[in-house]
Structure 1
Amino acid sequence: MMKNRFQHILAAFIISTSLVVHSCNKEDEDVATIPVVGIAKDPSNFKGEVSNGQVVTLDATKVYVLNGAVTVKNGGKLVIPAGTRIVATAGAASYVLVEQGGQLFANGTFNSPVSFRSSTETSGSWGGVVICGKAPVNTGATNTSEILNSAYGGTSATDNSGSLTYVKIENAGVSFSTNVKFNGLSLFGIGSDTKVENIALINSAEDGIQMYGGTVNLSNIVSIGNEDDAFVWTDGWIGTATNIFTKRKTNGSGNAAIKGLNNASNPAATPVSSPTVKNVTLLGGTSGESKAIRLYSGTYASFENVVVSNWTNGFSIESDPTVTYINGQSKIKDAFFDTNVTNKVTATSTSGSSVTLLSNTYNEKTDAIGAGNKLGNPAWAIGWSSLQ
């Protein structure tokens, strides 16, 4: 019989294998169970720090009661396997923060997503997930996040803060301080080697997801029922977003589907926000913000295959730098505007004056499918994200 070949379990291998590591030959199989360490020891009291050099792996068979803050420190790794449920109970004191140099590996699957929600299942009843990286931003060399005052930003465009796949974040958005709320998912200066795909932001009291600079690329994002904006960027985000599905609350309240800025106080700041956004379906409502996509404060952006329905205004292009970049430059390709959209694309100068749209600013495509199913729920999101 073979002896167990694994004397030490490497951190990277823990991440890739989730709960168990196998070593076997034709005769038998030895199983090494990942040890329960640190804050994973008591699922009924899930809070505390993941320290430098520590790898904390949760157990998907447990429900973790987030009755305080979880902070992943520089050099720490928190591994959350498929099917794990985390339930927040402490309002603003319940949140997950990944500091610069820390990593979060929350890797669900289509059939077994990782779930974060509050015990009350009401909007704004806990914090959210906040990740701070070392990628470039345009707010200065030294930055602290508006949420939790954690350091972020730097010079590492390929910084790796971990991996989030098939993750559902519900009921987030409690107030952190005066006029500042948590988002469902806040990405501060996150680098391109961080994996963010198949993420659902549901019923947040603030924005669903927001990028604060960085170079992270996103795909398969569902953001629905949020009280503020569904999908936001600012502070020099340079990345891609592919397959985005947003929908307002059933009563039609809420703000923009997509809101993009370069820098709120300095529209000329560099690096300039300039994401590429493809395959988008934006479903609006009857009250609240009238603009599906609002681009302003100097942001650049390119769009392709966009479906807009039940909004008064489709694209609102505002501020001189943003208008100059988009007007007449074919930056909006293959857009479908439903018959209930009054103004497809408008442009406004920094001073507030209306700007005449030039030819080739956008083109329409009646058979555009947006996130995959035109006005319907996309197949890639059915089930795990709460969409049916």
Structure 2
Amino acid sequence: MKKLIFSTLALALFLGSCSSDDDENITSNPVATGEITGDITTVKTYPIGNYTIKGTVKIKSGATLTIAAGSTITADVTNGADALMVENGGKLFLEGTAALPIVLTEISKTPGSWGGIIMFGDAPIVGANGVTSATSEDGNQLTYGGTNAAHNGGVLKYVRVEYAGKKLTDNTSEMNGFSFYSVGTGTILENLVAYKGADDGFEFYGGTVSAKNLISYGNYDDSFDWQDGWRGQDNTNWYAYQVNTGNFGMEIEAKTVNNSFFPKVSNITLKRAAGTVTEGGTSAAEYDAIQFKKEGNGEYSNVLISGYTTVGATAIRIQDAGTNTNQVNGGKIKILNVKITDGTSNYAGVGTTFVVAFGSTNFTTSTTATGASLISGAWSIVDGVNLIQ
């Protein structure tokens, strides 16, 4: 059941007079208010407004949800596990602008208070032992993975998700700011912000989708994370700033499968503020800028790394011997034109059982690397603070 209660009777009557075909063309003045809850099973379009979200709103297969630029959607931790989910076959259209972003937040402004945006598709994955489907780790136990590389889950532009990353009561299921399960190349992801979540800012679970102009700010776990053979090829302008609590800038793994493909990301900035500690405290050595493990790989160019100065930290960490043998020595990890601003070592392994030695063409440094290039605006400003620092 879908529920939307608007602040004025006139606006309610106006919306009630629209057919499902008309819904796609709704505009509003004045701003609407109301509640979004339950399953979305048809074409639904909400005008610019200040809405509350209650529970896990699921966009079902064949349905679409559109919310106008400039809208705010607010969760409430007391409701339970609030989240906005796109099931495989559904579509979500959140197309804000630099001046009028769409903001999804939480009333208490407490990290980990809700589940953020979760999208499912049927693009290919390669999971543990080479399986082509897996079960989601968000508590919903949904199957993801398929053969549709061009899967289209909609459009997300100029969207900011705040205070997400909810950890469920079973202590194993977690949500992120943005979670993309086997999402395909037909989906557009541009100018997105994950702000002060209690887990990862962005996580890709396989799939082929690419993302441009991302900001991950103040997230407790990793700024960017992926697994299941994610293979996006057109990623650019990724910016991470870790403050107070944070683990890896990027955590890269592939479920211990030596894939013949890898993702590509250009123009990356990874910054860590002084005094930032890992999520697990001093016992967790998760303070490196980039970690590769379980056969994670990829090509990364124009990379700026700053602030990863904790004792023992390194810019690039190779976590296990298999990743070193197959991905580093096999030339499937390429880190090109990297600038490390504070004397942190270039790369290292774990312990003394293997030695990391990149080929001369697979790890190159640069004094002129600039990292991400982003244009600030209302989309990148929270409580008067510009996230692009």
TM range (shorter): 0.7 to 0.9
* Partner residue of 2:67 out of 80, 83, 86: 80
**Does 1:201 find its partner at 2:194?**
yes
Q: Secondary structure at the match of 2:289?
A: strand
Change (3 A) 1:303 1:97: same
Taking the aligned partners of 1:243 and 1:306, their CA distance within structure 2 comes to: 10
* 56, 67, 70: which one aligns with 1:69: 56
Between the aligned partners of 2:359 and 2:190, the Cα distance in structure 1 is: 35
Change (3 A) 1:190 1:178: same
Residue 245 (structure 2) pairs with residue 242 (structure 1):
no
CA distance in 1, matches of 2:61, 2:330: 46
Q: Distance in 2 between matches of 1:136 and 1:212?
A: 10
Give how far 1:254 is off: 1.1
Of 325, 333, 337, the residue aligned with 1:334 is: 337
8 Å contact from structure 2 (residues 99, 377) kept in 1:
no
Partner of 2:134: 143
Decide which of 368, 373, 378 is 1:383's aligned counterpart.
378
1:132 to 117, 120, 129: 120
The Cα shift of 1:226 comes to 0.5
CA deviation vs aligned residue, 1:329-369 (integer Å, no higher than 9, x gap): 4811111011x2421122459x9423344433311111111
Alignment TM-score, normalising by the size of structure 2 = 0.82
8 A contact 2:318–2:356 mirrored in 1: no
Structure 1 SS opposite 2:157: strand
Q: Which residue of 1 aligns with 2:306?
A: 309
Give, as a single letter, the amino acid of the residue that structure 2 aligns with 1:104.
Answer: L
* Bigger mean CA deviation after superposition, 301-310 or 145-154: 145-154
Question: In the superposition, relative to structure 1, how do residues 123 and 86 fare at CA in structure 2: closer, same or farther (>3 Å)?
Answer: same
Separation in 2, partners of 1:214, 1:95: 21
Q: Secondary structure at the match of 1:111?
A: coil
Identify the residue that residue 27 of structure 1 maps to in structure 2.
Answer: none
State how far apart, in whole Å, the 2-side matches of 1:318 and 1:337 are. 20
Distance in structure 1 (CA, Å) of the matches to 2:344 and 2:81: 43
Retained in 2: the 8 A contact 1:314–1:341?
no
Matches within 5 A, 1:116-131: 116-131=104-119
Write the letter of the residue equivalent to 1:344: N
Choose 123-132 or 90-99, whichever is displaced more.
90-99
**Residue 56 (structure 1) aligned with residue 59 (structure 2):** no
Find the residue that maps to 1:343 and give its secondary structure: coil
Give the match for residue 259 of structure 1.
251
**Is the Cα contact below 8 Å between 1:328 and 1:360 reproduced in 2?**
no
Gapped regions of structure 2 (runs ≥ 5): 1-17, 279-285
Equivalent position amino acid for 1:241 in 2: N
SS at match of 2:230: coil
Query: Which range moves more in the overlay, 306-315 or 325-334?
Result: 325-334
Identity of aligned residues (%): 31
| Residues 141 and 363 of structure 1: CA distance in aligned 2, closer, same or farther (over 3 Å) | closer
The match for 2:93 among 102, 105, 117 is 105
Q: Following TM superposition, by how much is the alpha carbon of 1:325 offset from its aligned partner in structure 2, in angstroms?
A: 3.0
- Indicate whether 1:45 and 2:35 are aligned: yes
Q: Which whole-Å CA distance do the structure 2 matches of 1:381 and 1:144 have between them?
A: 37
What code does the residue aligned with 1:293 have? I
Mapped partners of 1:170, 1:238: distance in 2? 26
Cα pair 2:33 2:51 within 8 Å, conserved: yes
Indicate the residue corresponding to 1:94 in structure 2: 82
Aligned partner of 1:346 in structure 2 is 348
| Distance (Å, rounded) in 1 between the aligned partners of 2:198 and 2:358 | 35
Classify 1:352/1:195 alpha carbon distance in 2 versus 1 (closer, same or farther; 3 Å): farther
Quick check: 217-226 or 319-328, which moved more?
319-328
**Shift in Å at residue 282 of structure 1?**
0.5
Q: C-alpha displacement at 1:313, in angstroms?
A: 1.3
Offset, 1:326: 3.3
For residue 220 of structure 2, what is the amino acid of its counterpart?
A: E
Q: Name the CA distance, whole Å, in 2 between partners of 1:94 and 1:58.
A: 19
Q: Separation in 2 of the partners of 1:14 and 1:260?
A: 41
Question: Matched residue pairs, number?
Answer: 343
User: Does the CA contact (< 8 Å) of 1:77 and 1:102 recur in 2?
Assistant: yes
Partner secondary structure for residue 325 of structure 1:
helix
Instruction: Report the residue type matching 1:248 in the other structure.
Output: Q
Amino acid in structure 2 at the alignment position of 1:383: A
Say yes or no: does 1:210 pair with 2:200.
Answer: no
Partner of 2:147: 155
TM-score normalised by the chain length of structure 1: 0.82
Name the structure 2 match of 1:39. none
Aligned 8 A contact 2:193 2:380 in 1: yes
CA distance in 1 between counterparts of 2:167 and 2:334 reads: 36
Displacement after TM superposition at 1:59 (Å): 1.5
Indicate the SS of the match to 2:34: helix
Cα pair 1:309 1:341 within 8 Å, conserved: no
